[in-house]
């Protein structure tokens, strides 16, 4: 599943370098004045081209992104150079791994192996054993048997449950979100947190700096004033002048006393309870968990927190979570991000798509995966696997929505069925395979989610959650319309050119 660089990409790299030399040679022949200075500048540009091309070639980017960046810097010299420096440089993960290895792996805090050994010993499904071993190896996590995970498919239900458990908190609250919008939901959350802080609870909040750009700083000061610790991930001192803007923390986590936790797709905002004038009804999903799976969530939060604050959370009270005696199914946490050694979510999805024999049901707000996932879905469809994909009927980002419809329509001729939820923005992110296992969490099916963002997903097997996810999916289809040739934009030259441009540009941002 984890691919080595193919020889064809070396050829593409050398060809593009050669093409750059040819372009500048032609330009030189057309210039008569200041030929010496121009020649010196051209040589300098070629040197920069070569250095940046080498950096791109040796980077850990996926192949599509490498090709797009190589074309950009050679076809548009200087502009492409600056664009890559300020937007395309790799995430620096050396510091992160040093901190994690020093304080987590060396101290053997991560020790869930017994639960996985029990699962593998007592499960007769050979394919599921292989899947679990693969995900465990690529994530360095283990499957949990002593846990429950419940599906929340309504924003009001999520916040009612969240606020109820926050009010019952006794020791500490840990929160990690990508986006916070000022409004009724946030103000109630703020009121509860201030009340709990005044009661003496430890409260830590980790927020993505990009997600706070339009957020009133007064609220941050009010929370800090009562002793709540707040940290910003990837702080942007000069927005749009640093590649850090690309690597966003898209995770949504709330941990309360290590007794109950929440994660999934909903941020903090009134739009998630369908109070947005722009979107109206908002379709989304979130999850509440109890049991030993919270240990994996707690350790993930502790890793993220130490990276941006240097504060170690290695006390057992922050990391130990006990079984509840009310277990349901098996859950394996999947953190992913630009600091991965491998393309974690891409390779896991490829593994699951190729393992499916009966059905693949996908709900996603953005459908723009790379060519490997598209080909895997085509192959499954041609093999007789039922493939149904639900996308929004209303867009939040027009350009992304255009790519979503184009990529989804590629699968129609191979037998896949694509639906759009009528007049509704769907923000759910669910993948259900063969009626028995699923992927849920914050992951979208686009380049940014698969390769650039810090995401949090979970593999769930043999739980009532899987049944509820499939039921919810098929219920959503009753409010959806099948996408076909009649309701797609006609493939005229303009649409084809637009499609070609976005295929080239998408991996750059």
Quick: pLDDT tens for 91-125.
Answer: 655 555 665 656 665 444 445 677 888 888 888 88
Instruction: Count Cα neighbours of 225 within 13 Å in the Cβ-side half-sphere.
Output: 9
The 8-class DSSP code of residue 490 comes to P
Q: Is the pLDDT of residue 1 over 80?
A: no
For the four alpha carbons of 394, 398, 403 and 409, in that order, the dihedral sign comes to positive
Q: What is the pLDDT of residue 452?
A: 86
Quick: pLDDT tens for 450-459.
Answer: 988 999 999 9
Quick: pLDDT tens for 277-319.
Answer: 888 899 999 999 999 999 999 999 999 998 888 888 888 889 8
Lowest-pLDDT choice from 86-100, 183-197, 210-224, 379-393:
86-100
Q: What is the pLDDT of residue 117?
A: 86
Q: How confident is the model at residue 401 (pLDDT cuts 50, 70, 90)?
A: confident
Q: Is the pLDDT of residue 448 over 60?
A: yes
Task: Phi first, then psi: give them for residue 238, nearest 5 degrees.
Answer: -130, 85
Q: Is the pLDDT of residue 81 over 80?
A: no
Do the bridges between strand 359-363 and strand 430-433 make them parallel or antiparallel, or are there none, so unpaired? antiparallel
Q: Return d(Cα 252, Cα 264) in angstroms, integer.
A: 6
DSSP 57-84: HHSS--HHHHHHHHHHHHHSTTHHHHHH
Quick: pLDDT tens for 10-53.
Answer: 444 554 565 555 555 555 555 555 555 566 666 677 777 777 77
Q: What is the pLDDT of residue 238?
A: 60
Lowest-pLDDT choice from 62-76, 174-188, 277-291, 390-404:
62-76
Angle at 304 between CA 509 and CA 453, to 5 degrees: 15
Mean pLDDT of 179-206: 96
Q: Return d(Cα 378, Cα 391) in angstroms, integer.
A: 18
Q: What is the pLDDT of residue 237?
A: 63
Q: What is the pLDDT of residue 83?
A: 75
Mean pLDDT of 122-137: 92
Q: What is the pLDDT of residue 108?
A: 42
Q: Which percentage of the chain shows pLDDT scores above 90?
A: 49
Contacts of 182 (CB under 8 A, 6+ apart): 215, 216, 219
Q: Return d(Cα 478, Cα 285) in angstroms, integer.
A: 18
Mean pLDDT of 374-396: 93
Mean pLDDT of 251-261: 97
Lowest-pLDDT choice from 35-44, 81-90, 231-240, 363-372:
35-44
Q: What is the pLDDT of residue 15?
A: 46
Do the bridges between strand 253-256 and strand 260-264 make them parallel or antiparallel, or are there none, so unpaired? antiparallel
Q: What is the pLDDT of residue 8?
A: 39
Lowest-pLDDT choice from 135-144, 153-162, 191-200:
135-144
Nearest to 428 by CA among 439, 437, 418: 439
Q: Which percentage of the chain shows pLDDT scores above 70?
A: 79
Q: Helix 35-58 vs helix 63-75: angle between axes, to the nearest 10 degrees?
A: 180
The 8-class DSSP code of residue 271 comes to G
Lowest-pLDDT choice from 38-47, 59-68, 251-260, 388-397:
38-47
Domains and CATH numbers, the chain: 7-87 (no CATH), 146-328 (3.30.870.10), 344-508 (3.30.870.10)
Q: What is the pLDDT of residue 95?
A: 58
Mean pLDDT of 400-429: 87
> Token match 């707690």: residue?
298
Q: What is the pTM of this model?
A: 0.84
């Amino acid at each position: 599943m984890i691919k080595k660089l193919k020889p064809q990409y070396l050829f593409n790299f050398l060809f593009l370098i050669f093409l750059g030399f040819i372009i500048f040679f032609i330009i030189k022949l057309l210039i008569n004045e200041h030929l010496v200075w121009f020649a010196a500048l051209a040589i300098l540009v070629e040197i920069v081209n070569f250095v940046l091309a080498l950096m791109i070639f040796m980077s850990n980017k996926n192949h599509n992104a490498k090709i797009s960046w190589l074309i950009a810097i050679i076809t548009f010299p200087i502009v492409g150079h600056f664009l890559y420096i300020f937007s395309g440089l790799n995430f620096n993960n050396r510091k992160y791994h040093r901190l994690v290895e020093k304080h987590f792996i060396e101290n053997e805090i991560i020790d869930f192996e017994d639960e996985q050994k029990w699962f593998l010993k007592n499960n007769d499904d050979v394919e599921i054993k292989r899947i679990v071993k693969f995900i465990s190896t690529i994530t360095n996590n283990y499957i949990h048997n002593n846990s429950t995970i419940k599906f929340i498919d309504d924003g009001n239900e999520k916040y009612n449950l969240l606020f109820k458990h926050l009010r019952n908190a006794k020791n500490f609250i840990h929160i990690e979100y990508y986006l916070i919008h000022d409004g009724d939901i946030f103000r109630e959350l703020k009121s509860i947190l201030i009340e709990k802080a005044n009661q003496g609870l430890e409260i830590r909040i980790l927020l993505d700096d990009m997600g706070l750009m339009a957020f009133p700083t007064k609220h941050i000061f009010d929370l800090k004033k009562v002793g709540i610790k707040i940290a910003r991930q990837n702080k942007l001192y000069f927005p749009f002048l640093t590649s850090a803007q690309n690597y966003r923390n898209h995770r949504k986590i709330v941990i309360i006393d290590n007794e109950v936790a929440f994660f999934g797709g909903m941020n903090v905002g009134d739009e998630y309870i369908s109070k947005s004038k722009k979107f109206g009804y908002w379709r989304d999903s979130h999850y509440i968990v109890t049991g030993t799976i919270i240990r994996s969530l707690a350790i993930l939060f502790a890793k993220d927190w130490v990276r941006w604050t240097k504060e170690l959370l290695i006390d057992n009270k922050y990391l130990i979570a006990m079984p509840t005696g009310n277990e349901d199914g098996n859950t394996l946490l999947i953190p992913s991000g630009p600091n991965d050694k491998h393309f974690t979510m891409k390779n896991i999805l490829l593994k699951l798509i190729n393992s499916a024999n009966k059905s693949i049901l996908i709900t996603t707000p953005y459908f723009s995966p790379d060519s490997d996932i598209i080909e895997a879905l085509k192959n499954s469809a041609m093999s007789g696997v039922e493939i149904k994909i639900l996308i929004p009927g209303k867009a939040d980002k027009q350009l992304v929505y255009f790519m979503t419809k184009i990529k989804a329509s590629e699968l129609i001729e191979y037998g896949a069925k694509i639906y759009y939820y009528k007049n509704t923005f769907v923000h759910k992110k669910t993948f259900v395979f063969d009626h028995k296992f699923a992927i849920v969490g914050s992951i979208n099916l686009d380049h940014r989610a698969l390769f650039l963002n810090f995401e949090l997903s979970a593999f769930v097997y043999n739980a009532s959650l899987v049944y509820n996810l499939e039921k919810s999916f098929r219920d959503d289809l009753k409010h959806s319309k099948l996408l076909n040739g009649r309701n797609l934009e006609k493939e005229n030259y303009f649409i084809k050119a637009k499609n070609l441009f976005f295929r080239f540009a998408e991996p750059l941002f």
